[in-house]
Chain A
Amino acid sequence: MTQFNVTETIHRSWTVANVDDAVARYRDCFGFGVVAEIEGPADVNETLTGVKNAPLRIAHLRVPGGHMVELIQYLGPDEKTTLRARPCDTGAAHIALGVDNIEAAVEAASRHGIELMNGVMELYDSGLEGVKACYLKDPDGIMIELIQWNAEGNPFDKM
């Protein structure tokens, strides 16, 4: 097999209905930094995705800590739709963010139209006591998990 290496993760990306609204939401609610806002020509996008007549508006945001999120607004084609995935549906996606105060984050998210899906879970397992998590959904159907670690921090950092 011809060898190649994955060297890093570049971004996590979502298609959104309106890139200005989505950028404002994630900048103002979660403190994402706006790194670049660009236009994607329809011909380049057709080569990449096979979708015709679809110029793009693209924003690249940096999550605190460094990971990049890309938000893409398709200006075409006419027959594009909105997905309504449930977490149990194959292909459903989410991104998990570490926060220092999950209750305050849930309140702030709601003010920006990003709503709690159900409840806030708390763990009682040894080593994970007090870790809290919840799922949120934004107006585009993007699912965000919030996690507040206990004093031990992120256990994956030690694995």
Chain B
Amino acid sequence: MTGDFKVVDTVHSAFTVSNLDRTLSVFRDFLGCEVVVQDAGTPEIVKTLTGIENAPCKLGFVRVPGGHMIEFIEYEGPSDRGQVVSRPCDTGAAHIALAVNDLDAALANAGDVGLTLYNGVVTIDDAPMTGTRSAYFRDPDGLTIELIQWNENGDPFKTT
């Protein structure tokens, strides 16, 4: 029961980053996303939304192939802002999963753009997912990006 409102769509996923330009260049040049708009967030808006004072920020929105939008936010305050140091097992840890057509090519070049493989590559051997491969990467800010290469059956959730 959702009461008298509806969720109509997903507007974006978001990550806070330490260097917006660096993140945008990785997502544009390496992952093929389109940088749609760059903007600034005023401290007044940030305070109303989050309760955090003295926090102007820079915003960048990228469109992933397929249409999903990602927002990256670089906070320029407050002075005591920190860095989330997470392992995937920690409650609240987040990642985003992107489909790629050639995981080996992504693996071969990820290090050049600062993406580090967490550990290894999983190859699924359960039908109908047999041959689907996946790997977790961490960027310099600690953002976790999963890259998945589907087998010839494609995304199983498309038909679910």
Question: B50 contacts A49, CB within 8 Å?
Answer: no
- Helix, strand, loop or mixed for chain A's interface? mixed
Interface membership of A47, Cβ < 8 A: yes
A90 at the interface (CB under 8 A from B): yes
The yes or no answer to A126 lying at the interface (CB within 8 A) is: no
Contact B99 A97 (CB under 8 A): no
When the two chains form their complex, are residues B136 and A121 in contact, meaning their CB atoms are under 8 A apart?
A: no
Q: Which of B71-109 contact A (CB under 8 A)?
A: 71, 73, 75, 77-78, 81-106, 108-109
The answer to whether B31 touches A6, judged by C-beta atoms less than 8 angstroms apart, is yes
Q: Are A118 and B47 in contact (CB under 8 A)?
A: yes
Residue pair B7, A91 in contact (C-beta under 8 Å): no
Please indicate the chain A residues that have their CB under 8 angstroms from the CB of B135 in the complex: 48
Mark interface residues in A74-93 (1 if CB within 8 Å of B CB, else 0).
10110011111111111111
- What's the least CB distance linking A31 to chain B, in Å? 4
Q: Residues of A contacting B105 with CB < 8 Å? A: 2-4
- A108 pairs with B50, CB closer than 8 A: no
- Excluding A12-B94, A36-B157, 18 further A-B contacts by CB distance (< 8 Å) are A2-B104, A12-B96, A13-B94, A31-B2, A32-B7, A35-B157, A88-B75, A89-B16, A96-B10, A96-B11, A99-B7, A101-B4, A104-B3, A108-B3, A118-B49, A118-B50, A156-B63, A156-B69
Q: Which residues of A are in contact with B by a Cβ distance under 8 Å?
A: 1-17, 28-32, 35-36, 44, 46-51, 54, 60, 62-68, 70, 72, 74, 76-77, 80-102, 104-105, 107-108, 117-121, 133-135, 140-142, 145, 147, 154, 156, 159
Selected A-B contacts with CB under 8 Å, 21 pairs = A6-B100, A9-B68, A9-B97, A10-B99, A13-B96, A15-B93, A35-B160, A47-B120, A63-B9, A66-B10, A83-B84, A83-B92, A86-B52, A90-B142, A91-B85, A96-B71, A98-B8, A108-B2, A118-B50, A118-B51, A119-B51
